Amino acid sequence: MAGRPRDPDLEQRLLATAWSLLTSNGYDALTLTQVAAQSRAHRTDVYRRWRSKVRLVADVLDAYLPPVPDPDTGTLHGDLRAFAEDLAGAWNEPWNDGLVGFLADLRGDAEAERTFRALVVRRSQPLVDAIARAVRRGEIAEVPELPFVGNLLEGPLMHRRMFGGEPMTPEELDVVTWSVHRLLTGTSVKP
C-alpha cells in the first residue's frame, strides 16, 4: 500500500533554493530550471510537487517570509507608525518589486491565491492585535472592518512604490500613520 517515500529533504532543498533565488533575483527572473539545478535535482522533481511556478512560490512565501513583528509600543499611534515603517521597508526591498509579477500570476491559479490569501491574513494578525490592545486600553472604540485598515495603511506605500518611484519620506509615513490613526480614533469622521 506504500511505495518509496518522498525524500523530505529534497522538498526542503527546493523550497530553500527557490527562496534564495526569489530574494536575490525577484520573481520574474526565477525559473524552475534554476531551482532544480541549484538543488541538485531535476525539473521533474519540481513538477511532481508543484503544478506551476506560482504554486511553488506561494508555498515558499508561506514557509520563508519572516513574520510581521508586533511592536507593542504602548500606544496605538506608536504601533501604527512601527507597522508603516516596517511595511515601507519591505516594499523598498528590491526583490519585493518582483512580487508584483507574482501577484499577477496569482490571478490564474485559485489554489495559489487561497494559499497566499491565508498568508496575508496571518500576517495581518499583529495589526489586528494592536487594534485590540488599543480597544482594551480605551483609546478607541471597536473597529468593525479590520482588513480594511490594512488596505489604508499599506495601500499608499504600495501605490507609491509601484507608480511613484522614490521611497516615502519619514514625513509622508507620518501622514499615512496619522491618517489611519485619526480614522480609528473617530475624530471628525464627517464634518
Partner DNA sequence: CGGTATCGCTACAACTTGTTGCGAATTGGA
Partner DNA sequence: TCCAATTCGCAACAAGTTGTAGCGATACCG
Q: Could you say whether residue 118 binds a copy of itself (CB under 8 A)? A: no
Q: Could you say whether residue 48 binds DNA (CB under 7 A)? A: yes
Q: Could you say whether residue 126 binds a copy of itself (CB under 8 A)? A: no
Cβ contacts of residue 152 below 8 Å, gap of 6+? 179, 180, 183
Q: How far apart are CA 130 and CA 120, in angstroms?
A: 16
Q: How far apart are CA 184 and CA 139, in angstroms?
A: 9
At 76, list the grid cell: 496605538
Q: Is the dihedral of CA 147, 149, 150, 152 positive or negative?
A: positive
Q: How far is the CB of 11 from DNA (least distance, A)?
A: 7
Nearer to DNA, 101 or 167 (CB): 101
At 189, list the grid cell: 469622521
Site string for a copy of itself, 156-175 (x = CB under 8 A): xxxxx-xxxx------x--x
Residues that bind a copy of itself (CB under 8 A): 27-28, 97-98, 100-101, 103-105, 107-108, 117, 120, 145, 147-148, 150-152, 154-160, 162-165, 172, 175-176, 178-180, 182-183, 185, 187-191
